[in-house]
Amino acid sequence: MAIDSGGVRLHADLTLPARPSALVVLAHAGPNPEARDDALAVILRHAGVGTLSFDLLTRSEDRFVDNHHNVPLLASRLVDGLTVLRQHMLLDELPSLPVGLSAAGDCSPVVVRAAAIRDRDIYAVVCRGGLIDLAGMLYLRTLASPLLVLVGDGEQRVETSNRRALRELTGRKELKLLPASADAPDSAAAFEWVARETAHWFVRTLPTATANTVNRA
């Protein structure tokens, strides 16, 4: 799927199961190297949830590190993508589905800000690491979507910062730490834990999903 935003054309990969109950947008900036997203997409599809992997940067922009930290730019592009997605649903070009957002690292504050802007359209958000306070205080305080923040074991600064930021939210929120049993943060066990915690959150909070479906994944 091609998405135009601010004069650039961005790319998104849409995958829908036979009878999708919801759709999760997996936002990232630059080519997505994370095995977590692949594992998550598989689990979500088994749960009947479609995925849209959305790259918020062009190939040429990816070379510049500052672009990866530009929350206003990336959030604006994500909002444009959500607008296009909504238009496709209204035109019956895509099934009308509740939408969730998921991101990691530098894109975590991006999805928080976008969800706050599109509060009527976003039903759940998951952030894996990253500093959500970079979304901006106004957006934290206006976020209505249920938010799950996952933090790696030993990331004390990230945990402390995110716990402080979560106090600004008035809606449903939760922070979970990677269990010691998951070994290293980049291990297969950690990938599986992150994917399953993310999927469970979406299945519990997206309107048409049921917890029993993920348990069978």
Instruction: Please say whether the beta carbons of 45 and 214 come within 8 A.
Output: no
Residue 14 is assigned to a structural domain of this protein:
yes
Token reading at 211: 């917890």
Residue 89 is assigned to a structural domain of this protein:
yes
Residue 217 is assigned to a structural domain of this protein:
no
Residue 58 is assigned to a structural domain of this protein:
yes
Averaged over successive runs of 10 residues, the pLDDT of the chain (217 residues) comes to 89 91 92 66 88 91 85 96 94 94 94 94 94 97 96 87 96 89 66 86 78 40
Residue 88: its pLDDT value, please?
Answer: 94
Residue 198 is assigned to a structural domain of this protein:
yes
Under DSSP, the state recorded for 77 is H
Residue 208: its pLDDT value, please?
Answer: 64
**Integer Cα distance of 13 and 99 in angstroms:** 15
Residue 157 is assigned to a structural domain of this protein:
yes
Instruction: Return the CATH number at 7.
Output: 3.40.50.1820
**Integer Cα distance of 104 and 102 in angstroms:** 7
Residue 182: its pLDDT value, please?
Answer: 60
Residue 181: its pLDDT value, please?
Answer: 61
**Integer Cα distance of 113 and 72 in angstroms:** 8
| Terminal-to-terminal C-alpha distance of the chain | 27
The number of distinct structural domains making up the chain is 1
Per-residue pLDDT of 15-26, as tens digits, reads 999 889 999 999
Residue 139: its pLDDT value, please?
Answer: 97
Residue 152: its pLDDT value, please?
Answer: 83
Global pTM reads 0.90
Range of the domain at 176: 2-208
Residue 215 is assigned to a structural domain of this protein:
no
Residue 216 is assigned to a structural domain of this protein:
no
